[in-house]
Structures are given as structure tokens and as C-alpha cells.
Amino acid sequence: DAEITQSPRHKITETGRQVTLACHQTWNHNNMFWYRQDLGHGLRLIHYSYGVQDTNKGEVSDGYSVSRSNTEDLPLTLESAASSQTSVYFCASSDGRLRQETQYFGPGTRLLVL
């Protein structure tokens, strides 16, 4: 079955380290998204991509970067991890025809920055 996976599921890192969270989908969706979820804020968009080589900033993109070298993967990199980036991160994907149609989410990565 097609699916979307994230790895690692849990990560502990130290302030200042570079961290990369992986996202892989097998639906052949054009659109992929990264969100962070924090209490009281709901899901906030970090970066998104509408296709290979396309990346866009979301509302909370500072300190994060993404790259899209193929359809299946959109890795999220924290260039220099900060304690404020402790959060649960979700990757999502959607069909490309209408850009923002139903998004399907991965299981999440829980990141703790010490």
C-alpha cells in the first residue's frame, strides 16, 4: 500500500547541531509539506514543495531548509538546532492537481533539542 513515512520517529539532539528529518511518500504525489505542531498553535507550515526542484517557505521557515531532488522525498534540515525547535514535526503530501487538496500525513517525528 502507498504510504508516507518519517524517520527517525524520535530524536534528541544538542543546541547548535545540524539535524535532518526524513520524509518519504510512495503515492507519487507532487506536493509535499512540513509542519510543526506545538501546544496552543496547531499545525504550522514550515516549508512546502510543489514538485522536484521546487521549494517554498511557510509561515515558520526560519532555521529550517528543505530540498526536493525526487518526487518521493522531502528532507527537512535544521541548520543549527535551537531549543525553540523542540516540537513534533509532521510531513504531509497531496495530489498535485489542485495544489492544496487533501493532505495525508506521516506519523510524525518528535524532536527534543537540549
Binding site for another protein (CB under 8 A): 40-43, 45, 48, 56, 58, 90, 92, 98-108
Taking the complex as a whole, the smallest distance from the CB of residue 40 to another protein amounts, in Å, to: 7
CB 7 within 8 A of CB 18: no
**Which is nearer to another protein, 68 or 108 (by Cβ)?**
108
What is the length of the chain?
Answer: 114
**Which is nearer to another protein, 22 or 43 (by Cβ)?**
43
Q: How many CA atoms lie within 13 A of 92 on its CB side?
A: 23
**Which is nearer to another protein, 105 or 112 (by Cβ)?**
105
State whether residue 85 is helix, strand or coil: helix
CB 35 within 8 A of CB 80: no
Taking the complex as a whole, the smallest distance from the CB of residue 37 to another protein amounts, in Å, to: 9
